[in-house]
Structure formats: C-alpha cells, structure tokens
Copies of this chain bind each other. A is one copy, B any other.
Amino acid sequence: MPSWIRCIRGVMLDISGVLKNGDVAISGSVEAVKRLRDAGLTVRFVTNETQLTRRMLLEKLLNIGFQLTENEIFSPAPVMVNLLNEKTLRPMLLVHPKVLPEFIGIDQSSPNCVVIGDAVDFFTYERLNDAFKLLMTQKGAPLFTLGRGRYYKEEDGLCMDVGGFTAALEYASGVQAEVVGKPAKTFFATALNDMGLDVSEVLMVGDDIVSDVGGAQKFGLKGVLVRTGKFIPEKDENHPIVKPDAIVDDLAQGVDMILSGQAEEKISGNI
C-alpha cells in the first residue's frame, strides 16, 4: 500500500475503458463508484469523449446503472466552447455530428480556426482537406484538438482515436495542434477547481497511460492505470516513459486500494 493513498480525498475517473466498454458497464464499476461516494470521496468524471454531448453521455451511464449528474462530467467540448468565446474565434468544426449541440451559439461563419474531435466515420478526405486548406490559406489560424488519444476500445476491438487524424493535419499543414482535453494541464485544472481539493489529494484513474496517467502526473495528481479498456500488457505494463503510481486490474480493485488507505488513515487518526 503506497503511503500517499491516505491523503486521497477525491478521484477523477475516465469513462470509456474504466466505467464501461462501449455500452456495457465493466464488472464491478457501478458498485465501485458508489463505494467511493459512500466513503465521502469527491468524484468527477473526466473524459475525452467527443462523440457525444455530456447530456447524451450522462443518459448512457444512467442507463447502465451509474449514479451521477451532468455537472460532474468534464469533457473537452464545453472547455473548447469557453476558449472560442474568450478568444472570439470562429471554428471550422471537424467533429462528430452528435457533439454539435455543445457548440450551439458559436459563430461558425468565415472560420478562422480548426477544431478537431473524434469524428469516426465523419473523418472523410473532403472534411480533412477543407480543414487543411483553411490552415494553409489563413496564416496563423490555430488548430485545436479535443484529445491526442491513439486509440480506444469498442466492443468489436481497438479503434483509431482523434490523435492520428490530428497528426495527419499537423503533418500536412505544418501547424502544431493545441490540445483541449486530456492530457492538457488546463483540462485537469478545470475539474480539480470544481472539486475544491488540493492537487495532492486527488487521484486520476484511466486506461490511457499517456493521456490519463501521464497527463495527470504532469499536472501533479496521482495517476493509476487500469488493466481494462484499451490496456495492452506488452505496451503498457512497462511503458518507456510513463510510470503509473499504481496499476490495478480494474476500477473495483483500484477502489479497494483507495478505501483501504482511507481505513488506515482512520485507524491511525484514532490512535
């Protein structure tokens, strides 16, 4: 049991690959979230999901038994909307149609920046090329990406995530993308601020060793990797760059670990 476990007062949970695979809850994860709350820990759901609005994602999670509210979910699109408003930028949106409701009210006429999200089948050559042309013809137009993930796991196997398509636009245009979403520090900061806790008191649990674990650690959080979701033993168990603070079989085991730390803390507090 690592000693830092005793200090944990809040947990950020990735959704895809930690709570569920596709539309199926991962065994023990519904109860695991409930146990965290029952123990008085603050829980937030920190996801790079950009195929859906938070509202749609909430409904999916409620349907498979999780208990949570919309404002506990932190996803890149609302953060991107704030950034566009702050900088008064008009985006060309290369995103999944289902996430478009998050962008209602954003002026998309005469676009002067590109926003790329996980568009899946909507990553057509034509749409990527339109984004490329904007970046080539408007000098200094920024490219924002709602994540840098390499892949994620669906029920039928691994799928390319937005990271590769971001790399394609970067390579062709020569413009470096700015990440909005994990592993960006500002994204973790938004969730942490809402939790009202110190960075030393919060743990991130994810199945993406770079975006979830590495990103959380760079921000100062503890990062725990689960062996569910996209986890691949030969790639992730001894990653050349990121060393997780712990690796657990699944969220249920991660919560066991966290709650044991809480129990120890109570015992030592009582002595």
Q: A residues engaging B (CB < 8 A)?
A: 119-126, 128-129, 132-133, 136, 150-151, 157-161, 163-174, 235
Contact = CB atoms under 8 A, between A and B. Distances in A.
A226 to B, nearest CB: 19
Contact of A160 (B122, B161, B164, B172): B172
Nearest to A139: B234
A164 B169 contact: yes
Contact of A136 (B122, B125, B151, B169): B151
A16 to B, nearest CB: 16
Given A128-B164, A150-B171, 20 more contacts: A119-B125, A122-B125, A124-B125, A128-B160, A129-B160, A132-B158, A132-B159, A132-B164, A133-B157, A150-B172, A150-B174, A160-B172, A163-B172, A164-B167, A164-B168, A164-B172, A167-B167, A167-B168, A167-B171, A174-B235
A166 B161 CA distance: 15
A78 B150 CA distance: 32
A121 B125 contact: yes
A23 to B, nearest CB: 19
Contacts of A170: 167
Contacts of A173: 150
A159 B129 contact: yes
A167 B171 CA distance: 7
Given A121-B124, A123-B125, A125-B120, A158 B133 contact: yes
A158 B171 contact: no
A150 B160 CA distance: 21
A166 B165 CA distance: 10
Contacts of A129: 159-160
A168 B160 contact: yes
